[in-house]
Structure formats: structure tokens, C-alpha cells
Structure 1
Amino acid sequence: MKIQESAENYLETILMLKEEKGTVRAIDIVHRMEFSKPSVSRAMSLLREGGYITTDKDGLIDLTDAGSEIAKRIYERHTLMTKWLIALGVSPETAAEDACRIEHDVSEETFQKIKAHISREI
């Protein structure tokens, strides 16, 4: 099932925050993504309804298996594309921004071919 780019960005952010901090709260997402509290609250509600995250009584957010699968896929794409663009001579800042756009639109087939090519080059 294809989900919206914004949902993928939220899931990726939750994954990254979880790896960095161990736990994730909505306020952490607000600060990282620089979105308003109401926007993040609405997004968390939609992700919870979609079965991508859970929240406990203390407000801690966790990825479900489905959410984790999407977040890991997007994060892998982001990381690989960023490294590749930097290796091509793109500045790290621009590479990260461009990778964020590319990661959502490239097909799985194309990504796998790029991944195979990059692993030979880098």
C-alpha cells in the first residue's frame, strides 16, 4: 500500500529519533521536523489509525511492524542517496535535501539498481 510522502517522513523521523534517544514523544517530532504541535498531533492520530504507530499512556510513540518496515525502507533510501550524491561532489546539505525528495519517488526496481551500482562504485 502506498502512503503519502508526509507520512513516510514522519515514520522516518520517528525511527531516527528512536535510534538516537531511545524513546520518542510528539514534542521530539515537533522539534525535529519544525512543525506545529497541532500538525504533529493530527499526523500521529492518522498514523495510529492507519496502524503505523502506537502510543502508550505516557505519550511514548513506537512504530508498529508496518510502520517500521516503511521507515526503514525510506531511511535506507535517504542514507544511500545522500552518500551517493556526496560522492558525486554535491555538498552534504544539498545532497541530504535532494535525497529526501528522491527517496519517495524512485521505484523499487530503480532503487535496487542504483544500490547495486553504488555498492560497486563506493
Structure 2
Amino acid sequence: MKVQESMEDYLETILLLEKQTGYVRSIDIATALGFSKPSISNAMKKLKSNGYIDMEDRGSIKLTEKGKSVAMGTYERHCVISQILMGFGVSKETALEDACRIEHVISNETFEGMKEFLKSNPSNSSK
């Protein structure tokens, strides 16, 4: 099943917040994304019903293996795309914003090509 762009963003945000703090609540996601708590609550219900997250005691949100897989894939695409864009001379701010949009629509073939490009041109990943 193809995961919607917004759901990929939620999962990626949960992954990053978990790495930063070790504990994720709905309010943390709402703050990070600038969305209302009711919007986040609805999204978390959908993610839980589709097996991407578990809701634990005291409102803690944890990624399932399925959710972690999607989140890590989305984050990897974000990192690779932003590195390549910055290697082209795009400002960091613009590269990160554009990567956030591109990461959801890029084909696997193009993404794999980008990863190979970075491997064979390491100077592009350090800018």
C-alpha cells in the first residue's frame, strides 16, 4: 500500500523526534509540524489503525517496524536529495524545503541513481 505524503511526513517526524528526545507525544508532533493537536490526533489514529505506530501509556507514540521502515526510507530520500541540491549550489534552506517535497514523488529508479551519483562523487555530499 502506498503511504500518503502527509503520513510519510508524520512518520519521518516521529522518527526524528524519537532520535532527539527518546519520547514522542502528539503535542511534540503538533509543535514540530505546526499543526493543531486535533489534526495530529486524527492522523495518529490512522497511522495506528494501519499498523505504523503504537500508542503506549501516557500518550507515548512508538513506530512499529513497518512505520520505522517507511520513516527511515523517507528520511534517507530527504537527506540524499538535499545533499545533491546543496552540491548544485542551492542554499541549505531551499535544498531542505525542496527535498521535503521531492522525497514523496521521486521514483525508486531516480533515487537509486542519485545515491550512486553521491557514492561516485563524494565531494557533492560534503557541501
Please report the TM-score for the alignment, with normalisation by the length of structure 1: 0.97
In 2: Cα distance, 1:43 partner to 1:107 partner = 25
Letter in 1 for 2:13: T
In 2: Cα distance, 1:41 partner to 1:63 partner = 15
Q: How does 1:1-122 map to 2 (within 5 A)?
A: 1-122=1-122
* Fraction of identical pairs, as percent: 50
Q: How many residues are matched? A: 122
Conserved 8 A contact 2:82-2:96 = yes
Provide, for residues 18-71 of structure 1, a one-character-per-residue CA deviation record: whole Å limited to 9, x for no partner. Answer: 001111011100110000010000000100001000011210000001100000
In 2: Cα distance, 1:45 partner to 1:75 partner = 22
2:38 aligned counterpart, secondary structure: helix
Letter in 2 for 1:113: G
Deviation at 1:119, TM superposition (A): 1.6
In 1: Cα distance, 2:81 partner to 2:110 partner = 12
In 2: Cα distance, 1:83 partner to 1:3 partner = 24
1:72 aligned counterpart, secondary structure: helix
Provide, for residues 64-87 of structure 1, a one-character-per-residue CA deviation record: whole Å limited to 9, x for no partner. Answer: 011000000000000111111111
In structure 1, the residue matched to 2:125 is: none
In 2: Cα distance, 1:14 partner to 1:99 partner = 18
Structure 1 segments of 4+ aligned residues over 3 angstroms from their partners: none
In 2: Cα distance, 1:9 partner to 1:71 partner = 8
Provide, for residues 89-108 of structure 1, a one-character-per-residue CA deviation record: whole Å limited to 9, x for no partner. Answer: 00111000100111010111
Conserved 8 A contact 2:77-2:103 = yes
